[in-house]
Amino acid sequence: MSYEVLTFLSLASIGLSGILILAGLLFIKTGRRELHKKAMLSASFLALLFLIFYGIKAFLYPPKPYEGPFKGLYLFVLISHSILAAVNFPLAVITVFLGVTNRLEKHKKIAPFTAVVWIYVAVTGWIIYVFMTFLNRHGA
C-alpha cells in the first residue's frame, strides 16, 4: 500500500473512532443504550484498524523528524499524545470489557475518563499530521 493510502486509512479510522466516541456519549446521555453500545464497539473496532494501518505505515515508511517552526509545541503535543495513547489502549480494553460483561457500575466510573483521553488522542493525532504535513520543512 502506498504512503498516501495508509495515511488516509489511518486518519479516517481514528477520526471516525473519535466521532463515534462522541456519538456514544450523546447516546448514553439520552438513554439510548443499544446505540451507545454499537457506537462504542464500532469506535473500538476502528481504533484497532487504526493501530494496524499505522503500524504498517510506520514499518514501511519510517517517520521523518519534525523540523518546522513550532518545535516546542509539536513536542508537547507529540509527547502528551504518545503517553495518553499508551495509557488509553489498556484503559479502553478494560472499559469495553466492563461494558460488554454488564459490570456497569465499574464501567460508568472509568468510561468518562477513557472517553476524554480517547478523544484527546484522536484529535492530537490529527494535529500531529498537520504538523508533519503542513508545518514541517521536509514534509511527511
Residue 53, in any domain of the structure: yes
Distance between CA atoms of residues 82 and 11, nearest Å: 16
Has residue 140 got a pLDDT over 60?
A: no
Query: What residues make up the domain containing 128?
Result: 3-134
Q: Is the pLDDT at 65 greater than 80, yes or no?
A: yes
- 14: cell is 481514528
pLDDT tens string 89-125: 999 999 999 999 999 999 999 999 999 999 999 999 9
The per-residue pLDDT for 51 is 96
User: Per residue in 30-57, pLDDT tens?
Assistant: 999 999 999 999 999 999 999 999 999 9
Q: Tell me whether residue 140 is in a domain.
A: no
139 lies in a domain?
A: no
Q: How confident is the model at residue 139 (pLDDT cuts 50, 70, 90)?
A: low
In the chain, helix, strand, coil percent, each to 5?
A: 85, 0, 15
Domain with 76 in it: what CATH number?
1.20.120.80
Which pLDDT band holds residue 137 (cuts at 50, 70, 90)?
confident
Coil, strand or helix: which one is 135?
coil
Could you tell me if residue 10 is inside a domain? yes
Q: How far apart are CA 40 and CA 17, in angstroms?
A: 8
Q: CA 123, 74, 117, 45: dihedral to nearest 10 degrees?
A: 50
**Is 54 among the domain residues?**
yes
Domain tally, the chain: 1
- Give pLDDT tens digits for 112-121: 999 999 999 9
